[in-house]
Structures are given as structure tokens and as C-alpha cells.
Chain A
Amino acid sequence: MNPKLRALFETIGPGSPARYLSDTETLRLTVFNAASGVRVALRGRKVDENGESKFASNEITPTTARAASLGDVQPGAGWLVGAAAIVTAGTPLDGQTYAVLSIGIGLGANFTETEVLAAGTISAASRLSWPGSPIEGPLDGAGALRSITGTVPAAGAEISETVPTGARWNLIAFRSTLTTSATVANRAPALSFDDGANLLFSAPNPYLLAATTTANMSWGEGLYDAQNLNTIEGLAGVPANNRLGSGFRIKSRTINIQVGDQYSLVQYLVREWIEGN
């Protein structure tokens, strides 16, 4: 073996997965994020042909819209011996920030990916590191628990909540209040899922609301239909382990809804993953 290369291998250590980078190769960090105030650092260490250890880094503020944000560094020729993606600001939950460490040729829009080093969700407490971290998909983790306050619709209108672009939801619980007008009719609220156009599922709540009534309507994973007459709370179930993709909707569907009926206090709990589109 070339004595220079032998010296390099001895510097790096036996069994190291060190990877030689040419001058034109780039270490890229791709981040998909939903949390606010997050900054992510890309840090890499290389050993150059003189056996010297050098650091390269970049730091990005990823968009909160779950779209890809990129950070590139070109460490220069040498052996890449370590790389990491580290949250340096913000407190994203597990499932809100997904990072990919990869190598490719070129920079920016001219980047062509050749290898993925590591991928997975990161948080203030968990880093992504190469070597060491596995290559995980964005849907592999536990997901982030989010309590969301939805839109209060205009009087007479139904609730409609859309799964954001780049997200996947598991609806755990949903609750809202319906106040009916003086118009005489029996309102029968249901909670439905659709794919943005086609109705997929509808769960009628057993509570029928007459005129001039206020009641809370709840739906939960795995619940049986029930109506608690003491607290004016109607309960119904939604499918366990349901999954709703981007653009899918959670909607109320109220048979006999009247123009003056008003939904309010729209609150729901979801487990959210990032799709990584």
C-alpha cells in the first residue's frame, strides 16, 4: 500500500467506515421541519492527505412548512470520518424534525446525491450521527403529539380541518361544541374523514340536539358510542390506528344543521409524522 495512504488509515483507525471525498463532493443536510425556532447544524470532520483533522460546518433555519430545507458543505479532499446533524436552537418534539445526511456531487441545485449516510428524526435531545445512526424513514418514529385548535366556522357552516402538506396524522381525539339556533329540528352531528374529495368514513354521534341547545361532541379512538346525560357530552368512536395523509380532511357532517347553528371550541389531538416529500 502507498505509504501515505497507510499513514492515513492508521490515523483514521482500523475498521473505520471513513469515506474518501474529492474536491467536488458535498456533504448535504436535508431537513423537514414543523416546529418553530429550530436551527440545525451540520458538522463534519475529515482527515486530509497530510493526516490533519479538520472540521466543516453549516447551520440552517429550516422552514416550518414541512418542506425540504438544505445545508451544504464541501469539506475538500480527504477522508470523511464523522458527520452529525444537531439541533442548536428550538425544542422540536420527536417526529417534528426529520434530517438526512448524504453525500453527492455538486452544490445547491446542481447537487446529485450519491449516498445516504444516516437519516432519522432529531430533537434537542437526539442527534443524527454518522457513523452510528441508522437510515430511518420519516414515518418510523413515535410521532409528535399535538393538540390543535381548529378554525371556528361561520354560523351554519361545518368544521373542516385539513391535514397539512407534508404531514401524516393519526387522529386520537376530537372535541367541539355545537350551539343550535331556535329553528326546530333534530341535529345529528357526525365526524367524517375524506381524502379531500371522497367521503371515507363517518361516525355519527348518538347525541341529537334539539333547538336552542348547547352540547359538547367528542370522538375518540376506539370509543363506543355513549351519551352522558349528566354533563351533556356526546361520545363516539373513530377507527383505532387511523392514518390521514396530506390533504385529507376531518369534517363535521351534521344532518339537519340550520343556518344559525354554531360550532365552536374546535380542539383535537393528533399524532403527527412528517412525510418528507
Chain B
Amino acid sequence: MVKCQTCAGTYARVLEDGTQYFHACPPLGVAELKDAIAKKSIVLTATQQQQLDAARAIDAARPPAPLDAGAVDQLLASFSIARPFHRDENIKIPALEKRPAVLVAAGKGEPIDVP
């Protein structure tokens, strides 16, 4: 098993059937998005910002019940924003006879071995 240095996900590089596994980091989760938006470390598109403003207005007008997700949480769960330095081990299809293939995104580098 190895651990991704970008997202801390753990996976096997070769599956039980002998095939290669190509890890790709998940996009930012809701908690990470909230943190990134608060720190202004990501830039939302104009449409996303409008949606977020609208969701905040809904939550302000009708606060969600204590156990339920508000409009902001539901909206952020629908966003797909790549995490910084995301790693994607899938290969870019090379033209015939042009090797080696390169990764879609190297991220923070090779994963580290974990027990």
C-alpha cells in the first residue's frame, strides 16, 4: 500500500487481478472548500460565487435544523474543484511510438509506502 502525498489517500498500485491502479486525488471536500473560501485560497467562478451567495441568503433566512445540512453545504457538495497539487496517475495517451507516457498530473510526487 502507498499513501498519496497530496490527498493522503491510501491505495495499492497493483490490484489483486494484476492490473495497474491509477490513483487520482478527489476534488476538495465540503470542509476543505469552506476553509479555502474563507482563506481566499481558491477563486470561484462568477456562477459559483452567485450560487454561493444565494445559498448563504437561504441559510440566513431559514437556518437549517441542527442535524441537517444547509443550502451552503448542499451546494458545496455539488462543486468539483481540484485540490492544489492534485495527483492523477492516469497517463496522457502518447502518439504511437512516442514513449514514455506521462502522468496527467504528478501532484506532490511519488506516493510513500505505508504498512
Residues from 136 to 186 in A contacting B, C-beta threshold 8 Å:
146-154, 156-162, 164-166, 184-186
Report A249 CB to chain B, min CB distance, Å. 8
Report B68 CB to chain A, min CB distance, Å. 6
A277→B93 CA distance, assembly (Å)? 7
Where chain A touches its partner, the secondary structure class is: loop
Asked whether A257 lies within 8 Å of B19 as measured between CB atoms, the reply is no
Asked whether A108 lies within 8 Å of B97 as measured between CB atoms, the reply is yes
Asked whether A157 lies within 8 Å of B7 as measured between CB atoms, the reply is yes
A165→B15 CA distance, assembly (Å)? 16
Q: Which of B7, B8, B16, B96 has the most CB of A within 10 A?
A: B96
A-B CB pair tally, cutoff 8 Å: 126
Task: Give every chain B residue within 8 A of A197 (Cβ-Cβ).
Answer: 80
B12 within 8 A of A: yes
Asked whether B12 lies within 8 Å of A149 as measured between CB atoms, the reply is yes
Task: Give every chain A residue within 8 A of B19 (Cβ-Cβ).
Answer: 34-36, 64, 96, 146
A251→B27 CA distance, assembly (Å)? 9
A221 within 8 A of B: no
Partner of B69, one of A151, A165, A255, A277: A255
Q: List 21 A-B contacts (CB under 8 A).
A: A34-B20, A67-B93, A67-B94, A68-B96, A109-B96, A151-B4, A151-B9, A151-B23, A152-B9, A152-B10, A152-B11, A157-B32, A158-B26, A161-B24, A162-B24, A185-B67, A199-B78, A253-B77, A255-B69, A256-B69, A257-B31
CB within 8 Å of B: which residues of A?
Answer: 34-37, 63-65, 67-68, 70, 96, 108-109, 146-154, 156-162, 164-166, 184-186, 188, 194, 197-199, 210, 246-247, 249, 251, 253-259, 277
* The 8 residue pairs across chains A and B that have the minimum distance between CB atoms: A160-B26, A36-B18, A154-B8, A162-B24, A151-B11, A151-B9, A256-B69, A165-B90
A35-B17, A63-B101, A277-B93 given. 19 additional CB < 8 A pairs?
A: A35-B18, A36-B14, A36-B18, A37-B18, A64-B19, A70-B96, A147-B17, A149-B15, A152-B9, A153-B9, A156-B29, A160-B25, A161-B24, A165-B91, A188-B69, A254-B77, A256-B67, A256-B69, A257-B31
